[in-house]
Structure 1
Amino acid sequence: MTSEGEGQAATVPKRRLSCKTCIDNLWFCYSPVHQMQQYYRLGVLDNCADKWSSLLDCLSLKTKRSSEVQEILENREKDKPHIWTFRTSEESSSHWKEVFGHLDDME
């Protein structure tokens, strides 16, 4: 049997903060493969500024207490926009006609 405190700890997983992925992303950003992909797709080389900022953000989080880090990560998770947009059938119908209505006029 588990005690009540252990059950609560099992339901809320503690996140471990690791900057390894940020370092890996930064390293890959400067690789010739990534730079050539960016040049082919966008016509410019990547300056990797977003990778640097995410690494510095991760390192700054490492200096905080674990309770603060958990709170910050939970708030960031809540602030992320949801991947799906839910619509009613009327909203979806009007959106469909707005986006693809011109195809009906071709016939």
Structure 2
Amino acid sequence: MQPARIMDPKEKPEATSSPPPPRLDCIKCFDMLWFCYSPFHQMQNYYRHGEFDNCFGKWGDLVDCLTLKTKRAAEVEEILIAREKAKPHIWTYRTVDEASENWWRMYKHFVMLSRPLSSSAQLRPKSNES
């Protein structure tokens, strides 16, 4: 039996060419579900969105994680990599027209509920959709 090799502090460990495979951790899903039912999260959600969080999404994430735990490791790795590639990039680049349409779609109700604008400011013309 060979003695354990002690690595010299100046020596660097072997670098791998690919990133480590994604790891499935259901404890994080359970923690997020637990936090979802906390009074702090519920009041924060009520303050921000005007309604309490029903936590259905967190339940779905936990069930999905537990379901993936029943599959083979190679199959799970393939599914997680496919999901990571399918996620939209954090920065969505839009043209000026696309950005304007998106802004109006998201915030039109705030503009319509606010006080009337001064005569120098004009509302965007109504489009055919609504």
Q: TM-score, normalised by structure 2?
A: 0.58
Structure 1 unaligned blocks of 5 or more: 1-5, 100-104
Query: Which of the numbers 84, 90, 94 marks the counterpart of 1:83?
Result: 90
What's the CA shift for 1:86? 4.5
Equivalent residues in 2 for 1:50-65 (5 A)? 50-65=57-72
What's the CA shift for 1:39? 1.3
Query: Which of the numbers 30, 43, 53 marks the counterpart of 2:37?
Result: 30
Q: Look up the match of 1:3.
A: none
Instruction: Give the number of the structure whose alpha-carbon radius of gyration is greater.
Output: 2
| Aligned equivalents of 2:92, 2:49: Cα separation in 1 | 28
| Aligned equivalents of 1:62, 1:83: Cα separation in 2 | 28
After superposition, what is the alpha-carbon deviation per residue over 1:68-93, rounded to whole angstroms, capped at 9, x for unaligned?
A: 00000010011111122357xxx5xx
Residue 43 (structure 1) aligned with residue 50 (structure 2):
yes
| Aligned equivalents of 1:10, 1:62: Cα separation in 2 | 27
2:22–2:81 CA contact under 8 A, matched in 1? no
Q: Look up the match of 2:76.
A: 69
What's the CA shift for 1:14? 2.1
More helix by share: 1
RMSD: 2.4
User: Amino acid of the residue matched to residue 63 of structure 1?
Assistant: T
Q: TM-score, normalised by structure 1?
A: 0.70
| Aligned equivalents of 2:38, 2:62: Cα separation in 1 | 17
Query: Could you tell me the percent identity over the aligned residues?
Result: 58
